[in-house]
Structure formats: C-alpha cells, structure tokens
Amino acid sequence: MSLKKLNITLLGVVGMSIFATGTALAHTAYLKPNTFSTMRGNTITLESSFTESFSNPEVVVKSKNWHFYTPKGERKNFDMVQSHKQVTILEQAIEDNGTYRFTSGERLGRKGEMYKLKDGSLQSMFGHDRKKKPQPEGAVTITTQTATIADTYVTKGAPTLAVLQTRIGRLAIIPVTHPNEIYAEDGFAFRLTFDGKAMKNQSMTLYRDGGMYADDKGVVKLKTGKKSVTKIDFKQPGMYLLMTRHKADAPEGSETDLRSYTTSLTFEVTP
C-alpha cells in the first residue's frame, strides 16, 4: 500500500513506520458489529470468525468468555450467542446511551510444540518430521498454546469514555482516540501494551475490509515506535481490523510453557 493510501505519522513522542506489505491474513479472529454508531437502535448484532480475508468468515470463533461492558463500565453477558461452522452470531439489547465494548474475552486455543534453540530463539515444528529430520543440536522442546482476544466498540447516542478503561488479557490495544470517533483526516491514536507496559518496535498488521475487490488489497504491516502512543492517519474511510501477535512465557500454573497472544480490534474510519 502506498503512502498516498495510508500515511503513518507521529503523535507527540512516538510514531509508527511501515516495514513491509503483504496480502496474507493468517487466520485472525475478528468481532464485527452490524453498526458502530446508532442514535435510536435498541439491538446490536455481531459476527465473529477466524479469517484470512477480512471480513469473510471462514472458521468459527468459540469462547467461554463472551461478554460486554456497558457505558458505565459494568461487565455483562450476551443475551444470545449462536455458534455455527464458520461464524458465531451474537445479539445484545442496548438500552443505555453511551459506548459499549464487546469482546470474545481471552480465549485459550490450540496447543502445540516449538523448538527453543541454543541462542534462545524459537523455531516452528511445522512440517518437521522427527523420524526423518533430527532435532536441532542443543534445542529443547517447549509446549505452546494460543490466547486470542477480539474486540470492538459500539456507541449509542454520544460517545462516552468509561469502557476505554476496561482491561482484558495481557496484550492490549488501548484507544487514545475514541474508537467511534475515528476520522480519515484525523487518524487513530492508541497504546499497545503487554502486562501494562508499552510495547516498542512491535509488529502489527492493519487490514481494510473489502480489499480483495481493489487493486490496493488493504493490507499493511506496521511497527510501533519507541514511546507509548502511536497514531495512524488514514486516507481512505472504511472498516478496519488492527491486530498484533506476541509470544511470552505462560502465566504460572498454565498447562504449557509458552503462550502465543493475538489481540485484534475492529473499527470504522469515517470520511
């Protein structure tokens, strides 16, 4: 994607830089509402799926932790959750005015194994046949598990701020710009944290819905800067998915040695 389509700029003490582009979406979970803003709507319907082509559902997202936060910051469960083969459909009545946060919660997924090499780096076992190819010298086998969070925000009436203070999981995209007030020319500012600490030089990927129908496929790989706040300026309105992955030691008492964390945020950019 050219800088004419997406311009990454500085905000205060930090910026985000483009380091590569690509077209592949490695089965990222998303949570998409039927609308991001409403004045008089009383019900929100959302869909969630893993996809390689945002936002076409491919593999159902199942979670034991579906929930949402009201404009007052109160945590509640959904009125209706129905899982199908490719997509989960969620429905929720919204009575109060203000901003809601809808989330899959942190959901633990598949388990696997990786090699930890002598220099401390990790190597995938994907396609590795232990009978034909020996384990790398000095490497040890460690167990892994995925931990996924998919989030979105919806506002009824005027935007409010209480839900922006809620925290879910270790890897967090924390909006600085209100997520329902993102304008193409003003951009989106956010913080990326892990265990509450700012993540510097962290790889992220931004996807635009419907990119498959355009010459510009709407996929840009990004990196956070050296400080706490990052800003993205958009030249094109639309629905976007921002995601990042990070591997870290699993919490004490976990069933595996390592966890691969993925967090995504779906939002709308208006002209």
pLDDT tens, position by position, 243-258: 999 999 999 999 999 9
pLDDT for 11: 42
Full-model pTM: 0.88
Dihedral pair phi/psi, residue 165, rounded to 5°? -90, -10
Angle at 34 between CA 28 and CA 40, to 5 degrees: 145
Percent of the chain with pLDDT over 90: 71
- Does some domain include residue 28? yes
Is the pLDDT at 219 greater than 90, yes or no? no
Q: What is the mean pLDDT of the chain?
A: 88
Is the pLDDT at 19 greater than 60, yes or no? no
- Structure tokens given for 259: 């966890």
**Total number of domains in the chain:** 1
- Does some domain include residue 87? yes
- Does some domain include residue 54? yes
pLDDT for 18: 34
pLDDT for 173: 98
- Does some domain include residue 1? no
- Does some domain include residue 197? yes
Q: How many CB atoms lie within 10 A of CB 54?
A: 26
Is the pLDDT at 124 greater than 90, yes or no? no
The CA distance from 236 to 266, in Å, is: 16
**Domain containing residue 156:** 6-128+137-269
Cis peptide before 55 (omega within 30 of 0): yes
Q: How many CB atoms lie within 10 A of CB 91?
A: 14
Percent of the chain with pLDDT over 70: 85
Q: What is the pLDDT of residues 181-196, one digit of tens each?
A: 999 999 999 999 999 9
The CA distance from 182 to 32, in Å, is: 16
- Does some domain include residue 196? yes
Is the pLDDT at 111 greater than 80, yes or no? yes
